[in-house]
Amino acid sequence: MASAEIAVDIDNVVKRYGSFTALHGVSLGIRENEFFTLLGPSGCGKTTLLRSIAGFEEVTGGTIRLKGEDITNLPPHKRPVNTVFQQYALFPHMTVTENVMFGLLRKGWSKPESIQRVNQVLEMVQLGDYAQRKPSQLSGGQQQRVALARALAPRPAVLLLDEPLSALDLKLRQAVRVELKALQRETGIAFVFVTHDQEEALTMSDRIAVMSDGEVQQIGSPPEIYETPVNRFVADFIGETNLLDVDVHAVSDGMARLSLPGGNGFTCPAAAMRGPGKGHLSVRPERIALCAQGAGELDATVTGRVYLGTDIQLHLRLADDEAMTVRLQNSETTVVPAEGATVGLKLEAGAARLLAD
Amino acid sequence: MAAGAPMGGGAVSNVYKGNTAKLMAPAWAMIGIFLLAPVAMMVMYSFLTKEFRGGVIWDFTIAAYDQFFFDRGLFGDEPPTIEWTYIGIFWRSIWQAGVATIACLLIGFPTAWFIATRRPSTRSAWLFLVTIPYWVNLLIRTVSMKFLIRDTGPLNELLLWTGAVTEPLGLINTNFAVQLGLFYSYLPFMVLPIYAAVERYDFSLSEAAADLYSNIWTTLWLVILPVVKPGIVAGCILVFVPSLGAFLAPDLLGGAKTFMIGSLIEEQFKGSAGNWPFGAAASTILLSIVMAVLLFYARSQNKGSER
């Protein structure tokens, strides 16, 4: 990748708090005009990384470059990035207009220019009618839009969003996802979005960095992350998956030969090159088809059925007592086996993946 | 707060419907007996005629106010001119209290900020330290201040010994001494309300300001101070009002040139030389000034929040 198209270059960034290490040498590049998501469970370091880009955290080591310029040691007010805070952090004593104008005036814009820009961004987030309200007179969703407008107004090089949807209720959250994505396309600037919600990450992002324990586990597009996870953590964290203990015989050219529980041989893509031994096979529940007993790679007994509306979830048990889940699409032609029945499971070779730990 | 209030209010009015007046009665009785009645008595006494051995004669007159504002000569038979003596004392009192308030604010705000930004477990220890001097009686503290700053006191001796000055500073009986006394007397009244406000301050607002290109000083001026303003105003009122009527600090640390309202009023009720109606009138005027300032402030606050 040419450095010109990299908006934020994070190079081996380390952050320690006393004896606790929040970031273990994180490196990643966020491209121009990209919706980039930092995804991971709480405590994985994603917020620390975002706050390091904003300048609220001083990093212990490493370099952060913004459009090629080293900003590692710049204070927050000298970095041309803006943040949408988790609880919005709107100035309670200022009107919506004054909140949005704050950054423009501090940046040295003239008053008429600022007013024009404020009207423009408030129009963009559909809050034109609320310009003279105080934040306390707005709903949560409206406050969130003010925070967005305030951060977008000074035309930042990169917009940072720290779990901005977590304070909204579910319905609103889903609507805002679509708007946020559209806004990113419209403004054409890179959005760096922090979330612990994998569904949010999958639906909005161009690329996702999955983080755990202060390290980046995998970076890729949503389909890459979901369909070709590099390790157990990513497979388990993104969506549902079945992790089967398997014996690996050989790995070559990215394909693994292994034997499944029950003894059947199987060949599938491997996430890591490794020698023979024990391994974990990840199979998504919706990528398994049912067939007659003995006709598939595995045989299993149905232990439970859960009706999910669009899908039907089957809980199964393998001969060696391992539990598995299968999702069947709910349609007129779907045949749902009875509890206690033994069925064959057909694994799609392309949808299963041998994982490193 | 806005979301919780209607629900709470509804529940109360359902249970206690019709009993509101009865429930309010003790509070009104307290306010009436201990607040309104004494003020009414004070105002009434200011319109009575003075008796020479102290006390009053029950004849209505505005002589006390006339004496406060107008000079009619030694025998009261000259054309009235404005009497500047008492207005001057009032003006000096407002000045002294104002200086003490500003000094308390300049020292109290950083102190409160410091305490409020410590770890929660150590904050109460710091607050405790701030209040320790208040375990000692105000009179004793003020007298101690006099011993500390007098020409032969430790402060001047230290300065002489280090060679910082060649002769004692002569602090006693000056405006500065009175201001120092007032400052020391009322500093915690500034620290505590500001502490309460800063403790509630959401520090992500400072981060948001920094994120929006504001340096530390503009953040202080445009975000922090406006948001913690209620605490600052409360502190200023709690220092300014008692400073205005204080008489211990001016009596003990000041001299004839630093005479303040508190001393003027105190004298009117002391011994047989007093003049009760005049003291009551001076008190009424003082109260009116304070009330006017507070009402003006409350009015301007309401206008701000209506928008």
- Give the residue on A whose Cα is nearest the Cα of B304: A93
- Give the residue on A whose Cα is nearest the Cα of B227: A93
Q: Is A355 exposed, middle or buried (0-12, 13-18, 19+ CB in 10 A)?
A: buried
For A122-158, b where at least 16 C-beta lie within 10 A, e where not — what string?
bebbebeebbebbbeebeebbbbbbbbbbbbbbebbb
Q: Is B175 exposed, middle or buried (0-12, 13-18, 19+ CB in 10 A)?
A: middle
β-strand A158-162 against A190-195: which pairing, if any?
parallel
* Alpha-carbon dihedral sign for residues A240, A245, A246, A248: positive
A103 touches chain B (CB under 8 A): yes
A71 touches chain B (CB under 8 A): no
CA distance B304 to B307: 6
Specify whether the backbone of A81 is left (phi greater than 0), alpha (psi in -120 to 50) or beta: beta
Cα A177 versus chain centre, distance: 13
Bridge partners (DSSP) of residue A251 are A256
Low-confidence ranges of chain B (pLDDT < 50): 1-11, 306-307
CA atoms lying within 13 Å on the CB side of residue A171:
0
Listed residue (B266, B264, B270) closest to B92, CA to CA: B264
Using CB atoms, which residue from B204, B210, B218 is nearest to A87? B204
B213 touches chain A (CB under 8 A): yes
Is the pLDDT at A134 greater than 90, yes or no?
yes
Average pLDDT of span A119-124: 93
Q: Per residue in A61-70, pLDDT tens?
A: 999 999 999 9
A181 touches chain B (CB under 8 A): no
Is the pLDDT at A191 greater than 60, yes or no?
yes
Cα B108 versus chain centre, distance: 15
| d(CA A41, nearest CA chain B) in Å | 22
How is A10-45 classified by DSSP, letter by letter?
EEEEEEEETTEEEEEEEEEEEETT-EEEEE-STTSS
pLDDT at B65: 93
A-chain CB neighbours of B229 within 8 Å are: 93
Using CB atoms, which residue from A83, A90, A136 is nearest to B211? A83
Is the pLDDT at A2 greater than 50, yes or no?
no
Is the pLDDT at A170 greater than 90, yes or no?
no
A167 touches chain B (CB under 8 A): no
B-chain CB neighbours of A56 within 8 Å are: 207, 210-211
A-chain CB neighbours of B2 within 8 Å are: 136
A139 touches chain B (CB under 8 A): no
Q: Is B17 exposed, middle or buried (0-12, 13-18, 19+ CB in 10 A)?
A: exposed
Cβ atoms of residues A14 and A60 within 8 Å: yes
Reading the block at residue A171, the tokens are 């319905």
Report the complex ipTM. 0.85
pLDDT at B2: 41
Size (chain A), residues = 357
* Pairwise CB contact (< 8 Å): A83 & B207: yes
pLDDT at B216: 94
* Pairwise CB contact (< 8 Å): A151 & B211: yes
Cβ atoms of residues A191 and A35 within 8 Å: yes
Is the pLDDT at A211 greater than 60, yes or no?
yes
* Pairwise CB contact (< 8 Å): B211 & A102: no
A132 touches chain B (CB under 8 A): yes
pLDDT at A321: 86
pLDDT at A273: 63
* Pairwise CB contact (< 8 Å): B227 & A154: no
The 3-state DSSP class for residue A277 equals strand
| d(CA B125, nearest CA chain A) in Å | 25
Q: Within the 37-66 window of chain A, which residues sit less than 8 Å (CB to CB) from chain B?
A: 54-56
Listed residue (A320, A234, A339) closest to A284, CA to CA: A234
A-chain CB neighbours of B228 within 8 Å are: none
The 3-state DSSP class for residue A257 equals strand
Most confident of A88-97, A239-248, A338-347, B263-272: A88-97
Using CB atoms, which residue from B207, B212, B226 is nearest to A103? B212
> Which residue in the block uniquely carries the two structure tokens 């090089």?
A157
CA distance B189 to B177: 20
A-chain CB neighbours of B202 within 8 Å are: 87, 89
Cβ atoms of residues B140 and B184 within 8 Å: no
B-chain CB neighbours of A162 within 8 Å are: none
Global pTM value = 0.81
Is the pLDDT at A79 greater than 50, yes or no?
yes
Reading the block at residue B84, the tokens are 């500047």
| d(CA B9, nearest CA chain A) in Å | 20
- Give the residue on B whose Cα is nearest the Cα of A153: B212
Using CB atoms, which residue from A85, A93, A106 is nearest to B213? A106
A128 touches chain B (CB under 8 A): no
pLDDT at B303: 61
Using CB atoms, which residue from A54, A87, A103 is nearest to B213? A103
Using CB atoms, which residue from A54, A85, A91 is nearest to B223? A91
Average pLDDT of span A272-297: 85
CA distance A354 to A278: 10
Most confident of A168-177, A307-316, B209-218: B209-218
B222 touches chain A (CB under 8 A): yes
B-chain CB neighbours of A54 within 8 Å are: 207, 211
Reading the block at residue A128, the tokens are 């034109």
Output the 3-class SS for B170-234: CCCCCHHHHHHHHHHHHHHHHHHHHHHHHHHCCCHHHHHHHHCCCCHHHHHHHHHHHHHHHHHHH
Cβ atoms of residues A112 and A53 within 8 Å: no
The 3-state DSSP class for residue B92 equals helix
Reading the block at residue A31, the tokens are 């491209």
B214 touches chain A (CB under 8 A): yes
Using CB atoms, which residue from B202, B211, B223 is nearest to A76? B211
CA distance B90 to A107: 47
A134 touches chain B (CB under 8 A): yes
Reading the block at residue A340, the tokens are 């206690």
Count the helices and strands in chain A (H runs, E runs): 8, 20
What percent of chain A stands above pLDDT 70? 98
| d(CA B111, nearest CA chain A) in Å | 24
Using CB atoms, which residue from B204, B205, B211 is nearest to A82? B211
- Give the residue on B whose Cα is nearest the Cα of A102: B212
Q: Per residue in B55-105, pLDDT tens?
A: 888 889 998 998 899 888 777 778 888 888 899 999 999 999 999 999 999
* Alpha-carbon dihedral sign for residues B267, B269, B274, B279: positive
CA distance A165 to A167: 6
CA distance A182 to A176: 10
CA distance A335 to A319: 23
